[in-house]
Amino acid sequence: MTRSTLLPVSGRRQRGLTLIELMVAITISLFIMAALGSLLVSNTRARTELDRSSRQIENGRYAVQLLTQEIEQAGYFNYLSAKSYAAVAPTACATGVSALGYSSTTTSGASSTLPFPVYDPGTIPGSTCLPNASTTTPVLIVSRVSSVELAAASAVTGETYLQTSLCSSETQPFIAATTASGGTPYTLTTKDCSTKAPVHKVMQRIYYLATCNDCGTTTNDHVPTLKVAEFVNGAYTVTPLVDGIQDLQFDYGIDMDSNGSPDCYVHDPNKEPPDPTQTSSTRCPVAGYDWTDATNNWKNVVTVRVHVLARSTETSPGWTDTRTYQMGLPATGTTLVTDGPYRDAYKRHVYTATARLYNIAGQRE
């Protein structure tokens, strides 16, 4: 063994951290952790806010899509044309055939009737058909029949159907009736005048805004929601469609010359439009057309402009909604329909689309 291996090693002994060095290290670590925590919180808040905005955008677009698709199918009555028969206003929440707007008669001088494809009764029906309905927004009744044909013998008891005929010897153009237990009242035949014609289910859907989505007796979320009451098996079934819908308004395109295109839009077809001297964007000509005939106005509706105000379902901290939202043409005078400002922490946006009543406008072209 050499001498060098026996030298003491005390001069190369390892030293530990001093208290000051340890405190500096801890302080630096705390700063780093605080920065990372702040970044995490900021990212979480941004992500949450993005989710809120995404849901609000999706809800608004979905509500407009649902309404426009339904309006585009309005007025489908199989072979029949609402232009060829007297059009009448359907009664909201009605269960009887005639109140729904369907009447076929063989009496001399009497007119067979079909319901308006779209109609706003102007007031909320005094019925439990539309529970928790908002009293400040309109109701839209959409009338049509199902495009699915069903054999007359297979008609479901309690359901209401429309049967049409192309047989020239039939005394009635159609039969609208509710299937009774033990038999079917549908006697019309097809073009060959021997085969019994199929039936189509009568559909009435009432779109409205409710003041809540979950409207329980003990709990109420107070979230404004687009809902539909659908006539099914002699009663109305209410279904929530889109939550967070704050306001809903409609403008109706009136075909004044029967060519299938709207000549002007009005907020309420029940009365003459406001003064034509207003701005060009809301002007509606009054010369050469009888605006006092509300029935004719509703019969001439060929398009509907839908305005939806969608609201986020949760508040956004630090946000105050001070905006005013334009929701359509003037109901009276020259002032446009507006909503807001709400001055709360919910974010909102207006979505607008125009739907064409193809079953009405297409027959006029």
Average pLDDT, the chain: 85
Phi, psi values for residue 302, rounded to 5°: -120, -15
Is the torsion defined by CA of 191, 193, 194, 200 positive or negative? Answer: positive
Task: Give the model's confidence band at 8: pLDDT under 50 very low, under 70 low, under 90 confident, else very high.
Answer: low
Task: Give the model's confidence band at 198: pLDDT under 50 very low, under 70 low, under 90 confident, else very high.
Answer: very high
| pTM metric for this prediction | 0.84
Residues in the chain: 365
Given a contact cutoff of 8 angstroms between Cβ atoms, the answer to whether 347 and 311 are in contact is: yes
Contacts of 338 (CB under 8 A, 6+ apart): 324, 325, 326, 327
Lowest-confidence range among 76-85, 183-192, 247-256? 76-85
Q: Is the pLDDT of residue 99 over 60?
A: yes
Provide mean pLDDT across the span 123-131.
Answer: 77
Phi, psi values for residue 219, rounded to 5°: -130, 140
Q: What is the pLDDT of residue 22?
A: 80
Provide mean pLDDT across the span 86-103.
Answer: 91
Q: What is the pLDDT of residue 320?
A: 92
What share of the chain in percent tops pLDDT 70?
Answer: 87
What share of the chain in percent tops pLDDT 90?
Answer: 42
CA separation for the pair 300, 132 (Å, rounded): 32
Specify the DSSP class assigned to residue 276: T
Given a contact cutoff of 8 angstroms between Cβ atoms, the answer to whether 74 and 142 are in contact is: yes
Provide mean pLDDT across the span 1-7.
Answer: 51
Q: What is the pLDDT of residue 128?
A: 75
